[in-house]
Structure 1
Amino acid sequence: MKRTLLWAGVSMLFAANAAAADYDLVIRGGRVLDGAGNPWVRADVAVKEGRVVQVGQVPGQGTREIDATGRYVSPGFIDMMDQSGAALLKDGAAENKLRMGVTTLIGGEGGPPVPAAGMPGYFKQLETQGIAVNFGTYYSSTQARVHVMGDAAGAPTPKQLEAMGEQVKMAMEAGAFGISSALIYAPSSFQSTSDLISLAKVAAQCDGFYATHMRDESEGVVKAIEEAIEIGEKGGVKVEIFHLKAAYAPEWGKLMPQALATITAARDRGVDVAADLYPYTAGGTGLEIIAPSWVWADGLEKGIERVRDPKVRERMKKEVAAGSMPGWSNLVHASGGFQNVRLANSFSEKYRRFHGKTLAEIGAELNLDPADAAWDIALEGLPNRAVALYFMISEADVQLALRQPWVSIGSDAAAAVNYGSDGAIGLPHPRAYGTFPRILAEYVKRRQVLTLEDAVRKMTSWPAQRMGLSDRGLIREGMRADIVLFDLDTLDDVASWDAPAGAPTGIDTVIVNGVVSFEDGKHTGARAGSALRHPCRTR
């Protein structure tokens, strides 16, 4: 009886305290960066029912109070080019994203891991299982093409193109932000400009985007930008250029200024075009890109057969040595040679000992042409996709692009299914663990390329405005309470080429929709994220 009375008293005390609290959460005394580019102000931030309800001096009490003295309080970061569509189905924790201060992901070039008809169920499944971050996605134009006509080359008939448009319409009505493409890869590379304009017109009916991994990010980057802009203008859609780069070592310092001038000129005449980037000098992708696009013209199965054929390889090697050709970006040439392409993950015990070595080194050790070594490794790793790091980007070009006010940040990386691993796509690239803290540590603190306020703007209010997320990206009354607390003095990205899964330091609290999801170096287990659906407001 006494024990029952004791517990009843404790319950009443907790109930009274909860009733007395004015807010769910109050963050006290931090340096608040509103996300709009304004200088910080010392203020409290009160949160209730998932939204910011007061900024300034907050006299009331929160059920939970956080002392932010000496730390910055910022809106949560938005990853504009994410690859987590499939990973979140396996594990919604997204710990590598949270540790970077990222609270919202926009799934990029590959589209969702379901067909257009499956998107409503996909979003519902994410919400039912629970995800720790907010997630929205594009629908890939390649998904529509493969659904209608398979993975081989060839021009669609008018009827097939109409059927592709029906898939795009279905995806847009389900909440896709637009269509995306990855024109450097087959079968996406088989899509023509006119095909993409037709599909963009369908996305335009819902005020959508055309977002693209362009046809060429190397020697032909300016022409590729012009193509993307043409698709936007003629299709009536906004254009987002994924992971902007001038990935061509022979013309570092020349192509990037031309690329930026092309985008700026289009913006000046009213084209809604912008770009995102990741702050690293190497890209990461599969070894299959070393094979010219014609190899895959009859589909994946036939392409694998060709790669196995020694006679076909002789032709392939001549073309790799010759440089890029129409419809194919030669990333070996863009990187300045096999000595600048590093094997990242072979998915093979046979070749595991070569991880981290360049293809030139591997070829020498195996007494093979480096191209043969690459293709042997790719075949051995099947059905997985063996991947490499292509060091083809100039640091000076990264900095020049980063200074543009219309450039945001995208990791081009997935949420880790198992924290500390290479991620869902098996690519050990530091961008999966370091992209967003690197912007602050490297380009605000160490290199002073950006001011703190502008760096935060690029990762918060600008991408939110760009994507139409009108209730995110700012710390203001009425906004969703996606918030990150960080100590700029101790903040560091840590992840490196040799240790790509290094955990960043200095980011100690991350709040998603008003729920503390990461603190004191640990994931809290919260799954407070939402599936973000682009509203189909027909014109």
Structure 2
Amino acid sequence: MKFGHYLVIGLSAVLLIEPSGAGEKKAAAYDIVIRGGRVLDGAGNPWIPADVAIRDGKLAKIGRVVKRGRREIDATGKYVSPGWIDMMDQSGPALRQVGTAPNKINMGVTTLVGGEGGTPVPAADIKAYFRELEEKGISVNFATYYSATQARVAILGDTDVDPTADQLQQMKALVAQAMESGVVGITTALIYPPSSYHKMKNLIELSRVVASYGGLYASHIRDESAKLLEAVSEAIRIGEESGAGVEIFHLKAAYYPNWGKDMGEALAMIAAARTRGVNVAADIYPYTAGGTGLEITAPSWVFADGFEKAVARFQDPEIRTRMKRELAAGPQPGWTNLVHASGGWKNVVLANSYLTDYEKFHGQNFIEIGKALDRDPADVAWDIMLAAYPERPVALYFMMNEADVKLALQSPFTSIGSDAASALKEGDIDAIGLPHPRSYGTFPRIVAKYVRDEKILSLPDAIRKMTSWPATRMGFEDRGLLREGLAADVVIFDLEDMQDTATWDTPTAKPKGIEYVVVNGELVLDQGQHTGKLPGQVLRGPGYKEN
């Protein structure tokens, strides 16, 4: 009897002690467990109720998770999705300075695809550049293109000349070197000199090199305005003849006389090419204004003989008279006239002059500025550009129609790209100096405006456009889906609270509704606050060779 009494007491003691020990074991089972959320897998499927467990940077279990995590997050009533992918990023140089990318993380973005202007280093230094990012640390995953124009300028300089056969071979060798260093493809920005001097036949040859490695040709196409359809056709042909996949950057119908017409035709052209077997798609940002440098307001021939001669031309009164005449004439061969495409200087707004004397005019259109200074708007723009050099003054060009934006969003082959850089400090304008709300608002705007408020997209499809579709396009095989064994890039958000608060007047306002962001298994945004952690990885392209 006494023995039994002690046995009971002993068992009771074990029971009292065991839960504590078991708790320690359960707490160590996973790094993070997200409980009770509405899980969107990223593939376009409706949400399911599930827990998500993360361990060692991977998605360890999705479903009913019994064991505990070192960090438990209650996602009841919230949505849980794969991390969002920015398909048209400008952070290549910025991440070398500051790796935290606060505006991107605040938007739920876990992976950036940069490189419209190429890499911030020559082809020979790309491997070292990637190692630099990894050693310094970045909060986001990062992949980049190399620019065909980098190869062109390295061999030909910045003038309008056609390469010889030998020079083209040298350019192709640089592209091959870049691909083997880990870039995901090549880019062009064909409205900007000297990129605009590329001929299609040469781009096909460069893209053949890219195709041999399984990469993409991505392009700010030759004209997004009056000759949009010709430019889309050129991009498709480059892919069709070279075998490279094609990504059309920030697809837009930026020509006010053709609003409501060209976007539908452009989408139909892309769809028809895809039916033929061309691997072509596009990304977009959800705004009606683009943002770029003031140099685009001058005809391309001004820059044809290099920058020094361009400066002399800008300073010549007779040449300025000719430039103004061409501005007023509308579309010109070899030049996208964004002033005309926007409907005139009244729809071109000075965003950042980099000049103290002009700060008071930031946010005003050039008609207003011209009146205030009693000067021609073109002269104001060009004088700002010359005075600010080597900085690149930028403007907002209100040249798109909201109905066209919505139409493009609804296409199954469009993804989302911000066309913005990471900020060096939270609350500052992005590192390219453009105060455009897209740098702080692009991704939450998709969910808040086009899913919840206007129901242009379903939530599962919007998430697909920001996760599995771009991951599939880019060959990021371990990202873009919530699947056990894949990399743990995760966003937790409140659909009802989601809001892009960045506007034209307050372009750097932080969005609401994104509460947690996990990158490679580490919390980078915790209850809406950046943790400072740098778990991001460089995502190398299909041609990468380690040695």
TM-score, with structure 2 as normaliser: 0.95
Q: Secondary structure at the match of 1:350?
A: helix
Deviations 1:113-133 (A, max 9, x none): 000110000000000000000
Query: 1:372 maps to which residue?
Result: 379
Query: Share of identical aligned residues, percent?
Result: 60
Query: 1:336 maps to which residue?
Result: 343
Distance 2:21 2:147 in 1: 50
Distance 1:391 1:60 in 2: 53
Query: 2:137 maps to which residue?
Result: 130
Whether contact under 8 Å (2:208, 2:244) holds in the other structure is yes
| Cα shift at 1:108 | 3.0
Distance 1:317 1:54 in 2: 63
Q: In structure 2, do the counterparts of structure 1 residues 20 and 368 end up closer, same or farther at CA, with 3 Å as the change threshold?
A: closer
Please point out which of 276, 279, 282 is paired with 2:283.
276
Whether contact under 8 Å (1:247, 1:334) holds in the other structure is yes
Structure-to-structure mapping, 1:51-450, within 5 angstroms = 51-450=58-457
| Cα shift at 1:521 | 2.4
Please point out which of 443, 467, 479 is paired with 2:474.
467
Please point out which of 472, 477, 488 is paired with 1:481.
488
Please point out which of 452, 459, 467 is paired with 2:459.
452
Distance 2:264 2:243 in 1: 26
List, as ranges, runs of 4+ consecutive aligned residues in structure 1 with deviation greater than 2 Å.
13-20
Residue type of the alignment partner of 1:382:
Y
Q: Size of the alignment, in residue pairs?
A: 526
Distance 1:301 1:48 in 2: 56
Distance 1:520 1:536 in 2: 39
1:22 and 2:6 are equivalent in the alignment: no
Please point out which of 518, 534, 538 is paired with 1:511.
518
Distance 1:331 1:89 in 2: 32
Deviations 1:398-420 (A, max 9, x none): 00000000000000000001221
Deviations 1:57-99 (A, max 9, x none): 0111111111111110010000000000000000000000000
| Cα shift at 1:241 | 0.2
Whether contact under 8 Å (1:18, 1:63) holds in the other structure is no
Residue type of the alignment partner of 2:131:
K
Residue type of the alignment partner of 2:54:
V
| Cα shift at 1:516 | 0.3
Whether contact under 8 Å (2:182, 2:544) holds in the other structure is no
Q: Secondary structure at the match of 1:25?
A: strand
Distance 1:18 1:379 in 2: 66
Distance 1:537 1:302 in 2: 40
Whether contact under 8 Å (1:76, 1:460) holds in the other structure is yes
Whether contact under 8 Å (1:216, 1:224) holds in the other structure is yes
Query: 1:9 maps to which residue?
Result: none
| Cα shift at 1:537 | 7.7
Please point out which of 518, 523, 541 is paired with 1:534.
541
Whether contact under 8 Å (1:278, 1:410) holds in the other structure is yes
| Cα shift at 1:14 | 11
Q: Secondary structure at the match of 1:229?
A: helix
Distance 1:88 1:28 in 2: 33
| Cα shift at 1:21 | 1.7
Moved more, 240-249 or 370-379: 370-379
Q: Secondary structure at the match of 1:498?
A: coil
Residue type of the alignment partner of 2:207:
A
| Cα shift at 1:16 | 8.8
Residue type of the alignment partner of 1:521:
G
Structure 1 regions of 5+ residues with no counterpart? 1-12
| Cα shift at 1:215 | 0.3
Distance 1:411 1:56 in 2: 33
| Cα shift at 1:305 | 1.7
Whether contact under 8 Å (2:180, 2:544) holds in the other structure is no
Moved more, 163-172 or 369-378: 369-378
| Cα shift at 1:368 | 1.2
Q: In structure 2, do the counterparts of structure 1 residues 15 and 382 end up closer, same or farther at CA, with 3 Å as the change threshold?
A: farther
Distance 1:506 1:422 in 2: 21
Distance 2:22 2:58 in 1: 22
Cα-Cα RMSD: 1.4
Distance 2:452 2:392 in 1: 37
Q: Secondary structure at the match of 1:351?
A: helix
Structure 2 regions of 5+ residues with no counterpart? 1-19
Query: 1:496 maps to which residue?
Result: 503
Residue type of the alignment partner of 1:530:
Q
Residue type of the alignment partner of 2:515:
D
Distance 1:373 1:353 in 2: 14
TM-score, with structure 1 as normaliser: 0.96
Distance 1:300 1:15 in 2: 70
Deviations 1:254-313 (A, max 9, x none): 111111111111111110000000000000000010000000001112112211211110
Whether contact under 8 Å (1:207, 1:537) holds in the other structure is no
Query: 1:40 maps to which residue?
Result: 47
Distance 1:521 1:255 in 2: 40
Deviations 1:380-437 (A, max 9, x none): 2111000000000000000000000000000000000122111111000000000000
